[in-house]
């Protein structure tokens, strides 16, 4: 039997509810599949999940800028813009001592309250699996159940964690899963390897979700991701562009931060970058729509490349080789570019398409469903269309 036919049969036995009343509303399950772009989610790539989405809500999520894994997931978790939650990219320089933070994936990097902390403070039993920043207490608060990220863990272990937490009475469950990020970087987001991963995710996740819905009436599900990805065609080597100007560089793929060692070099660096065909802004002049320029962790200059161009910071042959490995695809471009948008499927909160949703509206929506109170109001707001079903 073909998988699509099998899903149709399962759906007949376990119908997906279009919505539940507030009294019947069940727990909330928030799952992120790293790097899964809205343009990858189609009936031919993920037929089982597409069938589920047809009975729920489907849209795209607009990521923060730059569209990277760590700031994307912290935005999803805090409902705040990067300039407020402090994880301004996958890496940054600490303004207090200019020390490099190469991987901003620790709870210490987060400057605004994550959803799992607000939930715990509100008395909501919460479980978190592998989410960025969920490696310890935040301001002394740890959720009921939490498993910090470990490399090489199969998604099946994450789903088992979620299933166990729901069975044990969790009202909010958050899980980070592998998605298509690795395949997209190594082989390209449109590669056979990425397509095979999409189909494998579909075969694993769709029937599992049906089981969870049958076991937990009123379950509300959000499936999303941190960013999309585009194939790479061109490379710009920033140390060459800025030769003779002393800087520290942190590149993210399609964008970069330039930290000047001599502030008087600002105009010269901007001119060089723009001559190389790149957009470049002093931190205080970054477009307001990017919600970035208010953080001192951001570089003195923010650089944005055209889609399909990646920015290199390599200063040795070894660094160059390391960068090229995993550059068949990249992200960190502007959020208004369609390929950066991630998928969004919502189950148990009505039916029909949604307009694009900013990433910072996801956590406030889940918080509203569960009556969670924030210590400080986030930047985002609950999605109105997802409130009307409750």
Q: What is the 3-state secondary structure (H, E, C) of 74-131?
A: HHHHHCCCHHHHCCCCCCEECCCCCCEECCCCCHHHCCCCCHHHHHHHCCCCEEEECC
**pLDDT tens, residue by residue, 280-324:** 999 999 999 999 999 999 999 999 999 999 999 999 999 999 998
Whether 109 contacts 86, CB under 8 Å: yes
Phi, psi for residue 138 in degrees, rounded to 5: -110, 115
pLDDT at 6 over 90: no
Q: What is the mean pLDDT of residues 367-376?
A: 98
pLDDT of residue 96: 95
Cβ atoms of 269 and 302 within 8 Å: the answer is no
| 3 state DSSP class of 251 | strand
To the nearest whole number, what is the mean pLDDT of the chain? 93
Q: What's the CA gap between 146 and 162, in Å, rounded?
A: 11
Q: What percent of the chain has pLDDT over 90?
A: 92
Which pLDDT score, from 0 to 100, does residue 9 have?
45
Cα dihedral across residues 130, 340, 49, 345: positive or negative: positive
pLDDT of residue 16: 40
pLDDT value at residue 12:
42
Q: Which of 151, 159, 266, 141 is nearest to 204 (CA)?
A: 159
Give the Cα separation of 331 and 230 in Å (integer): 6
pLDDT band at 23 (very low <50, low <70, confident <90, very high): very low
Identify which of 78, 63, 137 has the alpha carbon closest to the alpha carbon of residue 113: 78
pLDDT in tens, 66-89: 999 999 999 999 999 999 999 999
Angle, helix 362-370 to helix 69-78, in steps of 10 degrees: 30
For the chain, which domains are there?
21-230+336-387 (3.40.720.10), 233-327 (3.30.1360.180)
CA distance 36 to 26: 26
CA–CA distances in Å: residue 249 to residues 73, 255, 287, 309:
23, 11, 21, 17
Strands 126-129 and 145-147 come out as: parallel
Q: How many CB atoms lie within 10 A of CB 299?
A: 23
The pair phi, psi for residue 18, each rounded to 5°, is: -75, -25
pLDDT per residue as tens digits for the range 189-223: 999 999 999 999 999 999 999 999 999 999 999 99
pLDDT given for residue 207 in this prediction: 98
Q: What is the pLDDT of residues 102-136, one digit of tens each?
A: 999 999 999 999 999 999 999 999 999 999 999 99
What torsion do the CA atoms of 105, 344, 145, 382 make, to the nearest 10 degrees? 100
Exposed (0-12), middle (13-18) or buried (19+): which is 121, by Cβ within 10 Å?
middle
* Mean pLDDT for the stretch of residues 364-380: 98
Sign for the pseudo-dihedral over CA of 41, 59, 50, 22: positive
Cα–Cα distance, 343 to 169 (Å, whole number): 28
Pairing status of strand 279-282 against strand 301-304: antiparallel
Rounded CA-CA distance 283/258 in Å is 10
Does residue 22 carry a pLDDT above 70? no
If DSSP codes are grouped into helix, strand and coil, which group holds residue 365?
helix
| pLDDT for position 4 | 46
User: What's the chain's length in residues?
Assistant: 390
pTM beyond 0.85, yes or no: yes
Cis omega before residue 66 (within 30°)? yes
Quote the CA–CA distance of 179 and 68 in Å, as a whole number: 14
**Tens-place pLDDT, residues 161-199:** 999 999 999 999 999 999 999 999 999 999 999 999 999
Measured CA to CA in angstroms, residue 207 lies from 9, 43, 201, 218, 324 at distances of: 11, 16, 11, 17, 37
Contact (Cβ atoms closer than 8 angstroms) between residue 303 and residue 273: yes
25 pLDDT tier (thresholds 50, 70, 90): confident
């Amino acid at each position: 039997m073909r998988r699509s036919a099998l899903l149709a049969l399962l759906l007949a036995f376990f119908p997906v509810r279009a919505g539940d009343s507030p009294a019947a509303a069940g727990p909330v399950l928030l799952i992120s599949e790293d790097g899964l772009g809205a343009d990858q989610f189609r009936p031919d790539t993920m037929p089982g999940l597409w069938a589920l989405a047809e009975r729920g809500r489907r849209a795209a999520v607009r990521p923060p800028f730059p569209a990277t894994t760590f700031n994307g997931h912290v935005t999803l978790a805090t409902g705040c813009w990067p300039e407020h939650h402090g994880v301004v990219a996958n890496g940054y320089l600490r303004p207090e001592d200019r020390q490099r933070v190469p991987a901003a994936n620790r709870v210490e990097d987060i400057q605004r309250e994550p959803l799992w902390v607000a939930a715990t403070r509100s008395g909501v039993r919460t479980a978190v699996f592998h989410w960025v920043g969920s490696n310890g207490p935040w301001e002394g608060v740890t959720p009921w159940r939490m498993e910090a990220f470990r490399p090489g863990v199969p998604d099946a272990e994450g789903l088992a964690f979620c299933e166990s937490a729901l069975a044990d009475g969790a009202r909010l469950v958050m899980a980070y899963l592998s998605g298509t990020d690795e395949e997209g970087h190594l082989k390209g987001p449109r590669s056979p390897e990425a397509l095979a991963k999409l189909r494998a995710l579909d075969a694993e996740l769709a029937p599992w979700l049906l089981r969870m819905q049958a076991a937990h009436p009123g379950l509300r599900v959000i499936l999303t991701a941190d960013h999309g990805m585009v194939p790479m065609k061109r490379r710009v080597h920033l140390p060459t562009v800025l030769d003779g100007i002393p800087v520290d560089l942190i590149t993210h793929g399609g964008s970069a931060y330039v930290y000047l060692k001599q502030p008087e070099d600002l105009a010269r660096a901007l001119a060089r970058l723009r001559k190389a065909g790149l957009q470049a802004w002093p931190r205080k002049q970054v477009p307001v729509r990017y919600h970035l320029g208010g953080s001192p962790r951001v570089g003195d200059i923010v650089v944005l490349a055209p889609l399909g161009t990646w920015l290199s910071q390599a200063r040795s042959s070894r660094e160059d080789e390391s960068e090229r490995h995993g550059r068949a695809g990249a992200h960190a471009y502007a959020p208004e570019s369609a390929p950066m948008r991630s998928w969004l499927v919502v189950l148990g909160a009505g039916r029909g398409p949604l307009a694009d949703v900013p990433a910072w509206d996801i956590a406030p929506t889940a918080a509203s469903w569960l009556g969670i109170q924030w210590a400080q109001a986030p930047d985002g707001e609950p999605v109105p269309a997802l409130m009307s079903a409750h």
